[in-house]
Amino acid sequence: MPADETPQPAPSLIVVNDPAAAGPGQPAEGADQRETVEEPAKVMRIGSMIKQLLEEVRAAPIDEASRAHLRDIYETSVKELTSGLSPDLADELARVKIPFQDGTPSEAELRIAQAQLVGWLEGLFHGIQATLFAQQMAARSQLEEMRRRGLPPGTEEGRERPGTYL
């Protein structure tokens, strides 16, 4: 690697699947069909932006030019979100996204579309949190099982052992 290049960090990847479908230490069925967030930081940034835009649309009336601009921002945001998601999640987003009619959308249409997108993203984030929690619980269960199996029967933990090893 040349001296002027810095190593690039490995891209983040968050897997969202049903950990209850598999036992501890077992891969979930259809592991190759997992829902993944390939660019979690990007998805979080866009989600925060959409949520802020929704608050702005609710707070004050906006003119026709602003509504057209918000429509463009919404469409661009959905495209950017799609690029950070697995094909399964991108397809789901495409199915639930409300398409705008031709012309400039009304304030109500913008609020509904943005609120729906914020709701979908919050559901995605809750799914990620639930998956991470379930993975932590499965790892804890595995560790406890390994500890139970690690001690031979009849071993007393407090007993001193002879030898020179410290």
pLDDT at position 10: 46
DSSP for 22-57, please give it: S-TTSPPTTGGG-EEES-HHHHHHHHHHHHHHHHHH
Left if phi > 0, otherwise alpha if psi is -120 to 50, otherwise beta: which for 11?
beta
Contact 54, 111 (CB under 8 A): yes
Comparing 140 with 150, the larger pLDDT belongs to 140
| pTM for this model (two decimals) | 0.64
Using the predicted structure, report yes or no on whether residue 79 has a pLDDT greater than 90: yes
Q: How deeply is 82 buried, as exposed, middle or buried, from its count of CB atoms within 10 A (0-12, 13-18, 19+)?
A: middle
Is pLDDT at 151 greater than 50 in this prediction?
A: yes
**φ, ψ for residue 26, nearest 5 deg:** -110, 140
What is residue 136's predicted lDDT score, i.e. its pLDDT?
A: 93
* Residue located via tokens 């906006």: 62
DSSP, res 14: E
Whole-number pLDDT of residue 36: 82
State residue 103's pLDDT score: 87
- CA-to-CA distance for 86 and 27, rounded, in angstroms? 19
Mean pLDDT of the chain: 78
Given a cut of 60, is residue 19 above it in pLDDT? no
